[in-house]
Amino acid sequence: MASILIVEDEEAINELVKRNLQLVGHHCASVFDGITAVSEIQCQSYDLIILDIMLPGLDGFEVIKHAKNTPTIFLTAKDSLPDRLKGLSMGADDYLTKPFEMLELLARVEAVLRRTQKAASCFEAGRVRIDFDSRQVFHDGQLVECTPKEYELLEVLVNNRNIALSRERLLELVWGYDFEGDTRTVDVHIQKLRKKLGWEERIKTVYKLGYRLEVSR
């Protein structure tokens, strides 16, 4: 997985982002001010930087000048259009404002890593392999026929592995906000994926919430 530098002076937010990124398999380092961030960027190579703007020492706009073309996501409370335009014009790959939802940040991280070819092109767990480029799923080397929604649900579970996802959130992420069905649709598709992939023990039911794909890190 990717090597990610988190530049955020609020320790609670820094730790929250770090823990969730590590849950899905990324390797993370944390710094809390702009000067240390520049030093870290000069000494180490990263696949992605998650960067606040309002930082002690040097602000994020100054830090990104030293990013050496490293993909960068601004994560900041500065939500005005001029700030967004400035951040993107300085080379940021994405711009997410606080308060934010962790699942959205994880999705944006995955999107940037895919776009910059820093993300893995496949995922393996036990006897299952998923090829993201071809959108194909294999079990014991044999192609598994999945419907488009089964595949999309599987990809959401993989991208958010080890994180509990509610049925409602899965419904939104896979079927969209305007879907008129109910959460039983999620249950039916989960059961089909479990059976097709032999993942009865890997896709865990989270009591009164939803599901979690458990993968050792």
Picking from 59, 92, 116, the residue at the C-terminal end of a domain is 116
Collapsing DSSP to helix, strand or coil, 212 comes out as strand
Which strand (E) or helix (H) includes residue 203?
A: strand 203-206
32, 9 contact by CB (below 8 A) = yes
**106 & 138 share domain:** no
Q: What is the mean pLDDT of residues 206-215?
A: 94
On average, the pLDDT of the chain sits at: 93
Residue 180 has pLDDT above 80, yes or no: no
pTM of the model: 0.81
* The pLDDT value given to residue 63: 97
How does strand 72-76 pair with strand 94-97?
parallel
* The pLDDT value given to residue 43: 92
Picking from 92, 116, 140, the residue at the C-terminal end of a domain is 116
Structurally, the chain folds into a number of domains equal to 2
Encode pLDDT of 5-26 as tens digits: 999 999 999 999 999 999 999 9
How does strand 142-144 pair with strand 136-139?
antiparallel
Sequence-separated (6 or more) residues with CB below 8 Å from residue 114? 132
Picking from 116, 145, 175, the residue at the C-terminal end of a domain is 116
* The pLDDT value given to residue 116: 85
- Joined tokens for residue 36: 């240390």
**68 & 153 share domain:** no
* The pLDDT value given to residue 94: 97
Domain span at residue 127 reads: 122-213
When mean pLDDT is compared across 36-40, 66-70, 105-109, 175-179, the lowest value belongs to 175-179
Q: What is the mean pLDDT of residues 149-171?
A: 94
Encode pLDDT of 120-148 as tens digits: 788 999 899 999 989 999 999 999 999 99
CATH for 93: 3.40.50.2300
- Joined tokens for residue 213: 């794909």
Q: Determine if residue 42 is left, alpha or beta; phi over 0 gives left, psi from -120 to 50 gives alpha, anything else beta.
A: alpha
